[in-house]
Amino acid sequence: MNFDWEYAFSLFWYPPLWQASLVVIALSLLSWSIAASLGFILALAKLSKYRILRLPVAAYIWFFRSLPLLVLLIFVYNLPQVIPWTRSYLGSPFIAGLLGLVLSETAYMAEIHRGGLLAVANGQREAGRALGINYTGIQRLIVVPQAIRIALPTLSNQFITIVKLTSLVSVISLAEILMVGQRLYTQNFKVLETMLMVALFYVMIVTVFDNLLKLAERKLDVTRRKRPSRQSAMQASSSSSDSSPAPAPHLSSRSIEQSEIVVDARSINKSFDGVPVLKDVSLEVRKGETVSIIGPSGSGKTTFIRTLNGLETPDGGCITLNGDVTFIKNPNKPDRKTQLPRTDQIKNIGMVFQQFNLFPHRTVLQNVTLGPRYHRFGNANLIEQEALAVLEKVGMREYANKYPHQLSGGQQQRIAIARALAMRPSIMLFDEPTSALDPELVGEVLKNIENLAREGMTMIIVTHEMAFAKKISDRVVFMEDGAIVHTGTPAEIFENSNEPRVTRFLKDFNVS
């Protein structure tokens, strides 16, 4: 039997095949869109800390991933026999096919989205919380855009899978491509010729949408954008630094001693898995004072400053910021409700993280304006102008339209400082701001922090830069084994300390 090429090619102009292709496209797009949306909601529920949300979702995903789509389609199409009132809806093969595909694909989409959500670093959420953004805002502005970009290649592949799965809907008599082909070859028995063209139509649909989805991936993937050349970056940095305003003089020790207490942490305790990390830690910081917290790794320094802005919830104690109680919990009175920081209290505390935690899907300017826009500090133009002024202050205005991956580590940390300052904080927290930087990049970040100290910004700095702590601090706090062991002026700590544990710690540092 000869292959009838003329007949095969004639099917390319056969109207029912094109009409069937439109049915496949509509069914695929609707199934993919609805399943992707519902799957994201299920993914959030499965990652919830509440079992009442997690367990039903886990059961749904397990069941519909286990059930063959063909069986599901037949069941849905015949459901009106059991539930008559559904006949007006499920009597349509298109609606029944759509429902079957959505029920099945939502389970797969949920797992794809869950993978995307888990891939977003927790530091991104913490950076949002440090800006005073609530859970919904963090998901909408920070997590979801990144999770979708991460999951998009897999979501795109799932769309192609759905296109091919639409061929199964022919079992409930939907006139899609395969059904039209079957009707043809049962009439003329030209099976190979007909199925060749059926395959061609599927390939054309998949190819077109595959390229469209790849284009969307490239548009969303900002990490593909090139870094500026080293020479241009140095020139921009130089020009920005040269135009930075001269720093204001630092508050004198006497004015600090007479100023009000803006940070008052009392009897802070914190344990992880039963292991005490903070043991009855108390600290007062006055307005305009720069306090450096030093000590060996694992001594509780970072955990302590994270309790001040609500990133860690203490097991007990009281925290007062600017005369306003932000946290209180009495472990001896478990029936008394724990008071947690409010959004308006958190946004008044700037936080600079060790790992920068810039939002990679946003430009430098968008990173800096995100918090002020969310909290509506003013109209868009005012917020942008203030953000540019803050970027100018840290010598990074020239990079306003760059993305974080296009910057060096030192530049990223300066942007992180600018992002915190754009919130107009009265208190700044620094969590080892230079420990993730190459040695040659440390100086530019420390210079920015030093300028803030001269301007009278209240700062608490966790650092291993002993020479810097000695130079910048009004007071130095030494922590070890979850407790404050010693506190004093830089001279008392670095030059005249009679505390053996402090002396042992400092002997390996060259502090001049």
- Kindly state whether residue 308 falls inside one of the protein's structural domains: no
Identify the DSSP state of 141: I
pLDDT tens, residue by residue, 256-292: 666 789 999 999 999 999 999 999 999 999 999 999 9
| Residue 97 token pair | 């096919």
Q: What is the pLDDT of residue 234?
A: 41
Q: Residue 2: what pLDDT?
A: 82
C-beta separation of 434 from 465 below 8 A: yes
Q: How far apart are the first and last CA of the chain?
A: 95
In a domain, 195, yes or no: yes
**Number of domains within the chain:** 1
What is the helix (H) or strand (E) element at residue 488, kind and residue range? strand 483-488
Please give the pLDDT value at position 218.
81
The residues of the chain scoring below 70 in pLDDT are 1, 223-258, 440, 510-512
Contacts of 319 (CB under 8 A, 6+ apart): 263, 264, 265, 266, 268, 307, 308, 325, 326, 327, 328, 341
Q: What is the DSSP string of 190-250?
A: -HHHHHHHHHHHHHHHHHHHHHHHHHHHHHH-GGGSPPPPHHHHHHHHHHHHHTSPPPPPP
- Which one-letter DSSP state was computed for residue 252? P
The H or E element spanning position 467 is helix 466-472
Look at residue 278 and tell me if it is in a domain. Answer: no
Instruction: Report the alpha-carbon distance of residue 236 to residue 398 in Å, rounded.
Output: 6
CA Rg value for the chain: 31
Report yes or no on 408 lying in a domain: no
Q: Report the distance separating Cα 176 and Cα 195, nearest Å.
A: 13
Flag whether 171 is in a domain. yes
CB 152 within 8 A of CB 109: no
18 three-class SS: helix
Distance CA 421, CA 150 (A): 30
Q: What pTM does this model have? A: 0.82
Residue 227 located in a structural domain = no
Range of the structural domain that residue 66 is part of: 5-220
pLDDT at 126: 95
Give domain status of residue 400, yes or no. Answer: no
Residue 220: per-residue pLDDT:
74
Burial of 80 (0-12, 13-18, 19+ CB in 10 A): middle
6-41 residue pLDDT tens: 888 898 999 999 999 999 999 999 999 999 999 999
Q: For residue 452, give the nearest of 490, 418, 409, 476 by alpha carbon.
A: 418
Contact 314, 300 (CB under 8 A): no
| 153 in a structural domain | yes
Q: How far lies 59's CA from each of 10, 42, 54, 420, 468, in Å?
A: 49, 11, 9, 43, 55
What pLDDT, on the 0 to 100 scale, is given for residue 231? 43
Report the CATH number at residue 151.
1.10.3720.10
